[in-house]
């Protein structure tokens, strides 16, 4: 359905469908939305989190390995603080579950108070922007367009007169 929506002549949805995505595209930000089942999505997230922790540990070891490294750390501290902010899951907490008749945002199990507050803020934004209603409206419009191209009405009956 997404492929058909993105290929519609009237513009459809403003998205580019990439199909299957390599994991490095997720980390580089080349993909805005990744659709998975819960199991494989959780594997991808855990692998990304583990990689971030691994790199953080390597940097910590490198910056404490010698006096020269410690001085280098002091010089690069603004950059490492920015990196720390980007890698902190509490700053990006709140996974949205779609396909439900309401807004569901799951917080990370190890989230602190700041992380939970960020997840609540995500939920509030989604409710204020009426995400569920907008998705339902857009899907209905896409469905109507697909039905009309196939010669069917929204009731599922053939819209062309019988010959």
Q: What are the residues whose beta carbons fall under 8 Å from the beta carbon of 58, sequence distance 6 or more? A: none
Q: In the predicted model, is pLDDT for residue 36 greater than 50?
A: yes
Task: Give the pair of three-digit tokens for residue 73.
Answer: 């750390």
Per-residue pLDDT of 95-150, as tens digits, reads: 888 776 888 888 888 889 999 999 999 999 999 999 889 888 888 887 776 556 65
**Whole-angstrom distance, CA of residue 139 vs CA of residue 130:** 14
The residue-averaged pLDDT of 65-76 equals: 93
Kindly indicate the confidence band of residue 12, based on its pLDDT and cuts at 50, 70 and 90: low
pLDDT score at 26: 82
Burial of residue 5 (CB within 10 Å: 0-12, 13-18, 19+) is buried
The mean pLDDT value of the chain amounts to 79
pTM as predicted: 0.59
pLDDT score at 86: 82
Roughly how many angstroms between the first and final C-alpha of the chain, as a whole number? 31
């Amino acid at each position: 359905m997404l492929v058909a929506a993105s290929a519609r002549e009237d513009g459809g949805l403003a998205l580019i469908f990439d199909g299957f995505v390599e994991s490095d595209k997720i980390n580089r930000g080349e993909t805005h939305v990744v659709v998975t089942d819960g199991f494989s999505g959780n594997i991808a997230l855990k692998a990304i989190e583990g990689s971030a922790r691994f790199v953080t540990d390597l940097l910590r070891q490198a910056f404490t390995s010698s006096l020269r490294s410690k001085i280098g750390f002091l010089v690069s501290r603004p950059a490492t603080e920015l990196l720390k902010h980007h890698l902190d899951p509490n700053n990006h907490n709140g996974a949205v579950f779609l396909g439900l008749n309401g807004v569901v945002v799951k917080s990370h199990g190890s989230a602190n108070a700041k992380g939970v507050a960020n997840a609540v803020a995500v939920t509030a934004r989604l409710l204020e922007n009426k995400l569920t209603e907008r998705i339902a409206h857009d899907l209905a419009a896409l469905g109507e367009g697909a039905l009309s191209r196939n010669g069917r009405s929204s009731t599922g009956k053939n819209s062309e007169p019988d010959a």
